[in-house]
Structure 1
Amino acid sequence: MYKLIALDLDGTLTDKNKNILEETKQELIKLAQKGIIIVLASGRPTAGIFKEAKELTLDKVGGYLLSFNGARVLDYKTNEVVYEQTLSSEVAHEMYDRAKAFGLSPLTYNATEIITEDIGDHWIQLESFTTKMNIKHVQDFKKEVNFDVNKVLITGEPAYVAQILDEFKAPYEGKMSIYRSDPYFIECMANGIDKAASLDVLCKKLGIKQDETIAFGDGYNDLSLIEYCGYGVAMENAVDEVKERANYITLSNNDNGIAYCLKQLEEKGLI
């Protein structure tokens, strides 16, 4: 029997308009009320997941927010930080310099806002729309970011990001976790951070076995999660690498793919 469901948000839990479809919402609320643990596992900052957590009533039934690709894990009901890894301000500044050297746009976050010099960047505007967080436009990124951060996010045109990614991250191999999530995002976090590693910490804390977990995902940063969980499900709209490694491919995020799969598992008595 599966006891925990880990869900990526963008392209997975939410549709093309960044909304949770009603059928999917009701299915997840029903399972949460039965005692299934819901984990929202996203590259988004913590505050950028609150809307979806509230919609799924995780403040009442309980659940966890695995944010910044796993750099922070929060018990949403109690507000307890279960796990956290940060980058020093000095490392954040270094990532800023690296981004600028490649002609890319860097950003990071405080508790409630996106911090960047590049307010006109299309992909940064998209991050603001997705997370429902305002942009704090600063003149001097390094002067503003004088605190530890969970993540530095770097944006660029997808084709260019794919072209330079290996060169960009080469000096940090074994020192930091740097990888692509969406085709236009490079995620920079503490070494060893990914969704699966943080979910493993949470599962051990909760006494849940790896083969008792389900994951849904669509993007490059979901690969570890799909491989880690007992039942890894790729959305129909997922990138090919995720589909290749999944146990099952469900319908798309615009077609209630999560609900469709979970109902099948319920019928088989697996959840």
Structure 2
Amino acid sequence: MKYKLIALDLDGTLKNSDNQITAKTKEALIEVQKQGVKIVLASGRPTAGLRHEAKELLLDEFGGYLLSFNGARVGTVPNQETVYEQTLSIEEAKKVYTQAKQYNLACMTYKNDSIYTEDIDDEYVCIEAKINDIRKYQVSSFIDILENPIHKVLLTGTPEYIASIEEEFKKPFGNELSIYRSAPFFLEVMAKNIDKAASLDRLAKSLGIKQEEVIAFGDGYNDLSMIEYAGLGVAMENAVEEVKQRAKVVTKSNNEDGIAYVLSQIYEGVEY
């Protein structure tokens, strides 16, 4: 089987515990691109939060893709043409905000490549800004900034609290929205039927690539759908247990070049 498209989660997968892409993993991914394989960075991050990694992996040179907001947007590198996009309506975002306030969750969204929130000093809002290397702006009213549909609302709380209220929080929305955890302290809210698998499938079809020709690497809950979707779904050794159980392969950890380890067994010229 010749795999033609590789989807990569970032944090905990592509990047090690020092928030770096190791030299070995970088070399492996550049080599497969030389062989005509397309790379898509598939993350819950906003599009702006993927720019450094895209440049580092030479996606602008080889023509890669960015699947951001957990799949609410898919675009090309380097010209950022939209392949697929699905947004939350203003009314849907308002309902999410109202529900978040009832559960004392910090609430943020993205605009002009920045974070906008009423809770600028929240510990997890600060983590999100740092991870993505983007600015954060304090607003007096979250609802007032909702002038146009948005890709995602991100809610934060302690891991223990998020785990305890997740199912209850989701109930009023039924199947109207996509709501799930990414990091233990993040609850992601997107439009209905948005997840990494659905958007990865749209991208693959637009490229004439079959489902069985896709590899997906991940470690977190929001990677489950694409790992189950891909012809070869790969969980990192450091992945949450549910991801490892559903993956076809469990590779070495993100600190042990687990991506390069798998690719070296599939593609000639890739060393581990």
Quick check: TM above 0.5? yes
Match of 1:224 in 2: 225
Deviations 1:75-94 (A, max 9, x none): 11332100000012222122
Give secondary structure in 2 for the equivalent of 1:265: coil
Whether contact under 8 Å (2:31, 2:269) holds in the other structure is no
Deviations 1:118-141 (A, max 9, x none): 011111111011111110111111
Query: Who is 1:111 aligned against?
Result: 112
1:113-128 → structure 2 map (5 Å cutoff): 113-128=114-129
The answer (yes or no) to whether the contact 1:157–1:184 under 8 Å persists in 2 is: yes
Separation in 2, partners of 1:97, 1:17 = 36
Aligned match of 1:196:
197
Q: What are the Cα deviations for residues 154-202 of structure 1, in whole angstroms up to 9, with x where unaligned? A: 0000011111000000111211101111111111000000000001111
**8 Å CA contact 1:47, 1:111 repeated in 2:** no
Q: How does 1:187-266 map to 2 (within 5 A)?
A: 187-266=188-267
Q: How far apart in 1 are the matches of 2:178 and 2:217? A: 22
- How far off its partner does 1:144 sit? 1.9
Per the TM alignment, residue 267 of structure 1 is displaced from its structure 2 partner at its CA by 5.4
Gapped regions of structure 1 (runs ≥ 5)? none
Q: For 1:26 and 1:266, how far apart are their aligned partners in 2?
A: 13
For 1:23-67, what per-residue CA distance to the aligned partner results, in whole angstroms no more than 9, with x for missing partners?
A: 101110111121101010000001110110010011111100000
SS in structure 1 at match of 2:255? helix
Structure 2 gap ranges (5+): none
- Structure 1 match to 2:185: 184
TM-aligned CA deviation for residue 268 of structure 1: 11
Task: Give the counterpart letter for 1:188 in structure 2.
Answer: V
- In structure 1, what residue type is equivalent to 2:29? L
User: 2-side partners of 1:70 and 1:54: how far apart?
Assistant: 20
1:230 partner amino acid: G
What letter matches 1:171 in structure 2? P
In the aligned structure 2, how far is the partner of 1:173 from the partner of 1:66? 25
Alpha carbon RMSD of aligned pairs, Å? 1.3
Amino acid at match of 1:54: K
- Find the aligned partners of 2:46 and 2:55 in 1 and give their Cα distance: 15
Aligned 8 A contact 2:15 2:21 in 1 = yes
* Separation of aligned partners in 1, 2:18 and 2:157: 22
Match of 1:156 in 2: 157
- Conserved? CA contact 2:74–2:83, under 8 Å: yes
Aligned AA (1:219): G
Equivalent in the alignment of 1:99: 100
| 3-state secondary structure, aligned to 1:193 | coil
Secondary structure, aligned partner of 1:253: coil
Which residue pairs with 2:43 in the alignment? 42
Distance 1:146 1:163 in 2: 32
| Preserved CA contact (<8 Å) 1:87 1:148 | yes
Runs of 4+ in 1 over 3 A off after TM superposition: none
2:168 paired residue number: 167
1:17 shift after superposition = 2.3
Query: Normalization by structure 2: what TM-score?
Result: 0.96
> Structure 1 residue 12 and structure 2 residue 13: aligned?
yes
The superposition leaves residues 89-112 of structure 1 with CA deviations (integer Å, 9 ceiling, x where unpaired) of 222122111111001101000131
Between stretches 220-229 and 22-31, larger displacement belongs to 22-31
TM-score (norm 1): 0.97
Contact 2:32 2:267 (C-alpha < 8 Å) held by counterparts: no
Q: For the residues of structure 1 that align with 2:222 and 2:182, how far apart are their CA atoms?
A: 5
> Counterparts of 2:173 and 2:141 in 1: how far apart (Å)?
24
2 CA distance for matches of 1:34 and 1:228? 23
Q: What SS does structure 2 have at the residue aligned with 1:255?
A: coil
After TM superposition, the structure 1 stretch with the greater mean CA deviation from structure 2, 73-82 or 201-210, is 73-82
Total equivalences in the alignment = 269
Aligned equivalent of 2:75 = 74
